[in-house]
Structure 1
Amino acid sequence: MDEKTSRTSKIAAAILMVINLIIMIFCTLLFAFSLWMIASPSSLSTAIQFTGSPTVMALLEPEVLTVQLGVAIAVLATFLFFISFMGFYGALTKSQFLLFMYATLVLLLLLLECALLFYFSSGLMEKGVRKEDGQWSHAIRLALTCCEHNNTSPEIDRPPWSCCGPGGYPNNCTSSNIYKKNCHEAISSWLQRYQTAIYALLAATHLILASCSLIRRRRSASRFLS
């Protein structure tokens, strides 16, 4: 029985270490990207232009690469790295305190992510795509190949470039080649199809990580008491 418990603890530790190591690497790259944005947004914009991807160039145009955005990304990357390191190091050293804190933070993150998802999805369902949403509105149009305008709209003389796809950037979008699908209908259809699955995936991922952390912590506590 003790051997089986030990094997389970090792599996839980392996899952924690692998997943959190991947997240830590991603956060490091994201933090480096944010530092580049803060230090030299012009050179970052030049590098993005060399990628050759119309979608990336359009969504990450020079006006978007601001110091404020860089600082926000750096803070987010640091926060997620801190949590992931806590899980990785706690699993490696069998620290009861780190494993408990990690499990708690993972569950709190689940609640926060579900709340944010509900807030943004409700806003999209109610208000649809709005011009003031900035790059988010462009990203939604490109992802769903939709447009909230149509050929009879009075403002159709200059539709947003994303209504015509990446090729419409920056001023090549006209009423003759806009997406025919309505954005509000496309968003509603997409959310009805995938929203439950997204909630389930978020819950499953966070619960698995929290459970692995508590399993590893329980094994560590039993060895300490023995």
Structure 2
Amino acid sequence: MSNKGTSKTSKVAAWILWIVNFIVMVTCILIMTLGLWIISSPGSLSTVIDFTGNATIKALLQDMLSLQVGIAVTAVAIFVFCISFMGFYGAITKSPFLLFMYSALVLLLLLLECALLYYFSSNLVEKGLQDDGLWTHAMRLAFKCCEHNATIPDVKKPPWSCCGPETYPDNCTATMIVKKDCQSSIVSWLERYQLPIYTSLALIHVILSSCSIVRRSCHASRSYS
């Protein structure tokens, strides 16, 4: 009876690892394809982006068609793919080494993600949006906001994302900018959602790591019985 229960628990853990890691691997392949496309042929990708007709997508993605972004996107996708493949293949083969490595790397990823999230959220709370990079534009569009210092006439031309995607790349004026301040909007959003985000990240990573340990321990118990 105990062996049947252990076997059932192991199968459930294996299915969770298969499904989650398969989805992650497919997503990573798509992201890798995008990264390699940015590296090899940004012009053709720009044409495809223009063909979509979506002003927000066109404005945001046009800013990321650079060699550095392509290399970074591809490298991160390959790294995450390798970790997911460890979990996927380890769950199939019941490899103790792969399952242990996957469990350890998933927990390390959790620490890294929480550290990065804390670092960027703290910077946003203390300093607000500081530059006009891709993520800054995306956050302005998402929150429909603009920094107060960008609204002062004659100091500098407001960034296009302060007015909306229709003004890309340089048609935004001081009279067109949105009135909501970015820093206060971001602080309010973080106060509401920061704890659920940390909790969700922890739950997902701990569940995957636990499934890996369960699958590994089941194989080890059978080996010694």
TM-score, normalized by length of structure 1? 0.94
* Superposed displacement of residue 130, structure 1: 1.6
Alignment of 1:121-200 (within 5 A): 121-131=121-131, 133-149=132-148, 153-155=152-154, 158-200=157-199
Distance 1:155 1:125, change over 3 A: farther
Distance 1:213 1:155, change over 3 A: farther
Tell me whether 95-104 or 150-159 shows the greater mean CA deviation: 150-159
Take 2:94 and 2:168, find their aligned partners in 1: how far apart are those partners?
A: 53
Tell me whether 112-121 or 150-159 shows the greater mean CA deviation: 150-159
* Superposed displacement of residue 156, structure 1: 6.5
The equivalent of 2:11 in structure 1 is 10
TM-score, normalized by length of structure 2? 0.95
Take 1:122 and 1:205, find their aligned partners in 2: how far apart are those partners?
A: 23
Distance 1:90 1:107, change over 3 A: same
The equivalent of 2:211 in structure 1 is 212
Distance 1:152 1:107, change over 3 A: closer
What do residues 51-92 of structure 1 show as CA deviations (whole Å, max 9, x unaligned)? 11111110111x531112111111111110000000000001
Amino acid paired to 2:43: S
Tell me whether 2-11 or 163-172 shows the greater mean CA deviation: 163-172
The equivalent of 1:71 in structure 2 is 71
Structure 1, unpaired ranges of 5+ = none
Tell me whether 166-175 or 13-22 shows the greater mean CA deviation: 166-175
8 Å CA contact retained: 1:28, 1:77: yes
* Superposed displacement of residue 169, structure 1: 1.5
Take 1:155 and 1:40, find their aligned partners in 2: how far apart are those partners?
A: 39
Take 1:155 and 1:214, find their aligned partners in 2: how far apart are those partners?
A: 61
Amino acid paired to 1:105: L
Task: Give the aligned length.
Answer: 224
Corresponding position: 1:57 with 2:58: yes
Over aligned residues, Cα RMSD in angstroms? 1.5
The equivalent of 2:91 in structure 1 is 91
8 Å CA contact retained: 2:150, 2:158: no
The equivalent of 2:200 in structure 1 is 201
What secondary structure is seen at the aligned counterpart in 2 of 1:174?
coil
The equivalent of 1:30 in structure 2 is 31
* Matched-pair identity in %: 59
